[in-house]
Structure 1
Amino acid sequence: MSKTLREIYEYDLIEDDGIDYTVDEWFNTIMEKTKDQLNVSDVSRMLRQKICSRIAIKRAIEMLSDDPFVGEMFEGQLMFNLYAGKEKYLRLFYTQMEPVLEKAGIMAKAHHWASEDEKKEYIDIVAKFAQKIREETENEAC
């Protein structure tokens, strides 16, 4: 049986102090989930909030492998959120990201986008992500 995020990270839940904090409620909710129970919305928010980054990045890669255009509010949002993730953890997953980015770049050209601007932005972020990985890989080789 998979462990919950709370068990993995040994976090305490945020106690209810009577004030309505949506972020606290969300945090407590995801802490009770296993990695596989995290949905696109959870992972996107985890990446934006920089919470449990390793698990969020790993889950995002799994989701993007299945659908490179997955997003909570717009197509490709998860890719944008992942690109902006915590760099020290992103580096750990660069080799796993390379085939995802390659597939995303190829599929993006034929994908039906709502606008040319969305298509361009998505292709640009995929290219920037791939370039960042190439540069990091080259620096490690030196």
Structure 2
Amino acid sequence: MSRTLKEIYEYDLIEDDGIDYTVDEWFNTIMAKTKDQLTVSDVSRMLRQKICSRVAIKRAIEILNDDPFIGEMFEGQLMFNLYAGKEKYLKLFYAQMRPMLEKAGLMAKAHNWGSEEEKNEYMDIIARFAQKIKEDNNETS
């Protein structure tokens, strides 16, 4: 049985104080979800907010393995958000990211991009991600 994020992280929900805070509502919503219930939107926001980073990174890798170009607002957004994730947690998943990045790079070459600029930005983030992993691997060897 999958546990909710609230159970995994033992977070308390944010109590309603009568003021409308959409971030609080969103936080309470994701805390009630299991990892598999997290949407692309949830994961992207978790990565940007640096909330529950381990779960967000693991779920992002799963999603990107299925569709390396997925995003809320633009193609590849989840990959960009993952790259900007909390470094100390990203490092824990570098081994799982390596094949996902290789696949994404190969698929990106044949992908039908909206513009050459979009393609170049995506390829750049893939290359920077791969370099970050390579440098970390050299440091730990």
Per the TM superposition, whether the score is higher than 0.5 is: yes
Give the residue type in structure 1 aligned to 2:63: M
Correspondence 1:106 to 2:124: no
Residue 62 of structure 1 aligns with an amino acid whose one-letter code is E
> What pairs with 1:1-142 in structure 2 (closer than 5 Å)?
1-141=1-141
How many angstroms apart in 2 are the aligned matches of 1:19 and 1:102? 46
Distance in 1 of aligned mates of 2:118 and 2:16: 40
Structure 1 vs Structure 2 CA RMSD: 0.4
Q: Deviations over 1:59-109 (max 9, x none)?
A: 000000011001111110000000000000000000000000000111101
Paired residue type of 2:27? F
* Cα distance in 2 between the residues matched to 1:112 and 1:136: 32
Identity %: 81
2-structure distance, mates of 1:3, 1:59: 14
1: CA distance between counterparts of 2:24 and 2:73?
21
| CA–CA distance in structure 1, aligned partners of residues 134 and 11 of structure 2 | 35
Q: Distance in 1 between matches of 2:26 and 2:70?
A: 21
Kindly state the Cα deviation for residue 2 of structure 1 after the two structures are TM-superposed.
Answer: 0.7
CA distance in 2, matches of 1:92, 1:45: 20
C-alpha displacement at 1:16, in angstroms? 0.5
Question: Deviating runs (4+, > 2 A) in structure 1?
Answer: none
